[in-house]
Amino acid sequence: MLCAKHLGARHVISTDGDEAVVDYLKENLLLNDLNDEKLLMAKTLWWGDELEGTWFEQACSSEPFDVVVGADITYDKVAISALVKTLRQLFQMRPGLLVIIAGVIRNAETFQAFQDECALSKFQFEEITFAAKPMREQTALFYAAAVPIKILSITSPG
């Protein structure tokens, strides 16, 4: 919603693997006056599933995208390989794609496992420095300053 409403994105697809969460996303879109599916839609996406021949491939063909943002999606070590498989498919569909993954580090080992999987897939990635401000200095888009936040910029294999 932030990308569509405040950052000038022309088309946004918000996804989750849980259909109930997707229903809540759709409800939030309506509550925020974002009910134009040409601008923003919410869909179910299961990491690791084949994207070819799905709604995702059709959406990619009709509205090609150049940036994927993943927020707080690296917390479950079991799901890392499926996430990276989906990223590989995305890079095959859109070789010039930029992927930004950001999340709070609840478990450094899990985030390291994600970075290791990215390296095995020969993704190019770099950490984006983010210096957290103390809560009293934050003015908008509040975030916890006590837990480290890591942000990776990832591109297709070079």
Q: What residue spans of 6-79 are helical by DSSP H?
A: 19-31, 55-62
pTM of the model: 0.86
- Let me know: does 47 contact 85? Beta carbons within 8 Å: yes
Identify whether 86 is part of a domain.
yes
Q: Which residue has the tokens 């478990």?
A: 107
- Domain housing 73: 65-155
What DSSP character marks residue 128? E
What is Dmax (Cα atoms) for the chain? 49
According to the model, what pLDDT value does residue 98 have? 94
Cα separation, 105 vs 61, in Å, equals 34
- Which range of 74-78, 126-130, 152-156 scores highest in mean pLDDT? It is 152-156
- For the chain, how many structural domains are there in total? 1
How many percent of the chain have pLDDT more than 90?
A: 52
CATH number for the domain spanning 125: value is 3.40.50.150
Identify whether 117 is part of a domain.
yes
Q: How far apart are the first and last CA of the chain?
A: 32
Instruction: Express each pLDDT in 23-80 by its tens digit.
Output: 999 999 999 888 887 788 899 999 999 999 999 888 888 888 889 999 889 989 999 9
Which of residues 116 and 60 earns the better pLDDT score? 116
**3-class SS at 86?**
helix
Identify whether 124 is part of a domain.
yes
Identify whether 50 is part of a domain.
no
Identify whether 80 is part of a domain.
yes
- Let me know: does 45 contact 14? Beta carbons within 8 Å: no
Identify whether 88 is part of a domain.
yes
Instruction: Express each pLDDT in 27-39 by its tens digit.
Output: 999 998 888 877 8
Identify whether 14 is part of a domain.
no
Cα separation, 97 vs 27, in Å, equals 29
Half-sphere CA count of 144, side-chain side, radius 13 A: 10
